[in-house]
Each structure stands twice: as C-alpha cells, then as structure tokens.
Homo-oligomer: A and B are copies of this chain.
C-alpha cells in the first residue's frame, strides 16, 4: 500500500487520465526513443507534412506578436467561410466563424456553454465523454452497429426523439464524417434524412467535418446543405492540412445560433484569449487554398485510398469483419470472428485485445472501449498512418494524378504499415 497524497482535487477530475490517443503516442515515442520497434496504429495524426505555401506563410508572419481578436483574425474568418462555401456549397459568413486552438477546445467550450442534452453516436471520438465528465455533465450515447456501418439512421433517431416526454428540450447531436474511428461517411441521402428529423425536433447539429477534405474520392457532402439553419460545421488544420501540432480549429455557425458562438467567445476571452497570431496568419493561406494545396490533397487522398483498400483486403482476407474505408485514415475492425481463439488467450475485452497484441507484437491500436463501445465488444481503431507522408507524396507526384497508383507503390512507400498488418493477421490466425 502506498500512502495517499494530500490532494484537494475537484471530484470530476479525480481518476481522469490523459486522453488515450495522446497517451499512446507518448508511450510509443518513449519506446522508439529507446530504439524499440513499434507498429504504431494508435495515433490519429496525418502522416503528410504541412503544405509548403502554408509553412512559408508561417515564416513570413513569424514576427506577428499582437493579441488577435478573440473570435479570430477577420481575414482568416473570411477564408474559412469561403472554404466552406466553395468546398461544401453551403452558406457561410465570416461573422459567424469562431477560431480556436483546436476543434477539441471548441468542443469543450460548446459543452461548457450549452445548457441542454448532447447526443453522441458511438463509436465516437475519444474526448466527448471525458470533456463532459470534467464539467460534471453527461452526454447521451447512441450506440450504432457494424451492420449500419456505424451510422446513425434517421428512423432510429426519430424513434428516440418521438418517444420522449419533453420533445423540444434543447438538444445537440454530434455527427462526425468521414468518421473517427470508423473511416466511413454518410451518403447525401442519409444526411438529408437526418436533416429532416433534426429540423422537425429543432436539434442543433455539430457536424464535425475535420476529415471532409480527406474523403478518399473527394466527394465529401456536408449536412449543412440540407439543414443550414441548425448546423455548426467543425473543421481545422489538423487533418487535411497535416498541422495537428499547430492547434487551430474552426466552428462555422448559422446566424441563428450566434448566441452559442458569442457565449463561447466570452469564455475564450477568459481562458485561451485567442489563437497564436503567427499560426492564424498562416492558416489564411491554408483556408484560401490554391492549386498547390489542391494538388497536395489529391495526392494525399490517392495514397490514403489505395493504402486503406490494401489494408482492408488484408484484414478481411484474414477473416476480420470490417467495412471498406471511405475517408480519413482509420478503420474500425470487429475481431469477433476470432472470439473463441482470443478467449483461449484470456482476451475477452477490447482493452485486453490491444494490450496483449501490443505486448506480443508491438502493434499498437486503440481499443473500442475508448470510443465508448461496450467493453466486451472486440473492436479497435487502426490508424494506417505509420509511413512517411513526405516521401510518399513526393513519389505520388511523379505519377499522373488520373492514373491509379500501382500496387508496388504501397509496397515501396508504406512498407511499415503493411508489415504491421501482416503481423496483426499472423497473430490473429496463428
């Protein structure tokens, strides 16, 4: 027994540990720094470098030292609104854009200021529930299923809402597509149906589209097209622009939800103040876009798409249940076909699955439970990002963009990823 420290902590914080995605990253990095080999499918970080014009813009603005407006630099807000107008064909107005140090922070502020129920379909991004815990709130989880492609269906949503006593209490539904952890996305029709239900019950939608530009076929559609008056679009530099470590996220509000934006900005002014000035200036370049950035995105999508398909085939050939990836750089396989064999190794939960796999093979994935799935469900998130983004981009640029990438490309440039997949399937089937 160790003596308890004399601590005086907010009870909501006690027992809270570091975000699992960041924790696994730090664990892996420590192992790597000791020279140990790790197949890291744990982290949700883009493998690609920040596009050159965006890095150049940061260099150019390195001297900017002033506190910027709490909601964000106006030209940046214009660029963000323009980005959504052009890419997503939605109405978006610079006056209703809020810039924060990551969309995670913005989501926290939203949870802090919104007095109402927050509904999150699972599997979901790892931070929603801990954020609520920190604030002493509860989010309502809505479990989806493998059969539904981990999607929330409009009819199920409608059923849930019409069964309630107080149908019109304030509610916010979170949608994330292409999705973390599943790498799947909604069709325009599905979104249209969800939009209809949302309109009927006056739901606010938080549409997390941070992976929108990483739809593998460039076909991202925003739900804001079908429910503009109730949809907040979340985006940022972290994923499509490869700048996770820069910390810049954006929320774009419909005019009618400006009360949420203003309340969030008031809290922001008492907490992070504003996003780092040089980063904001550089982000203008990213959101304004250019041919160079478009080309970067085409190549990034082509690589992720081909690699995702390859990984998908390797796993499904081995007998793992999973869907063919559609966006981002994630898969959310279900290992239940191996349940009997795994049980023999004393593996009955997703946590045990990932822990044992990591110990025996140094393949790191994140267990389904951190995405709020039931503990016993044998799911896990695989991020197929452990390859050199710069080298593969450079190589892809030598192959005309309208061609398919040859099979050898992946073999040559994403060898580590494929090797990790092999080790995983061998471990499962041995």
Contacts and interface: CB of A to CB of B under 8 A. Distances in A.
A242 B115 CA distance: 38
25 contacts: A7-B260, A9-B260, A10-B112, A10-B115, A13-B112, A13-B263, A16-B263, A18-B266, A19-B273, A22-B67, A22-B70, A22-B269, A22-B274, A50-B63, A58-B62, A58-B278, A65-B244, A65-B246, A67-B244, A104-B271, A105-B271, A131-B270, A272-B272, A276-B276, A278-B279
Contacts of A279: 276, 278-279
A3 interface: no
Contact of A22 (B49, B65, B273): B273
Size class of the contact patch on chain A: 35 or more
Contact of A64 (B65, B101, B245, B267): B245
Chain A residues touching B, majority SS: loop
A134 B265 CA distance: 12
A224 to B, nearest CB: 20
A25 B67 CA distance: 9
Nearest to A237: B65
A429 interface: no
Nearest to A23: B269
Contact of A49 (B65, B116, B248, B265): B65
Interface string A355-370: 0000000000000000
Interface string A59-90: 10011111111100000000000000000000
Interface in A272-299: 272-279, 282
A338 interface: no
Contacts of A26: 69-70
Nearest to A258: B5
A247 B63 contact: no
A102 interface: yes
B114 A8 contact: yes
Contact of A19 (B17, B270, B275): B270
Contacts of A352: none
Contacts of A273: 19, 22, 101-102, 104-105, 247
A131 to B, nearest CB: 5
Contacts of A56: 62
A401 to B, nearest CB: 24
A245 B65 contact: yes
A197 interface: no
B13 A276 contact: no
A68 B29 CA distance: 11
A275 B242 CA distance: 16
Contacts of A17: 266
A259 B9 contact: yes
A137 to B, nearest CB: 9
Query: Which 6 residue pairs across A and B have the least CB separation, nearest first?
Result: A245-B277, A8-B170, A19-B269, A58-B62, A7-B259, A16-B266
Contact of A270 (B108, B260, B272): B108
A102 B272 contact: yes
B244 A272 contact: no
Interface in A1-50: 5, 7-11, 13-14, 16-19, 22-23, 25-26, 43, 45, 49-50
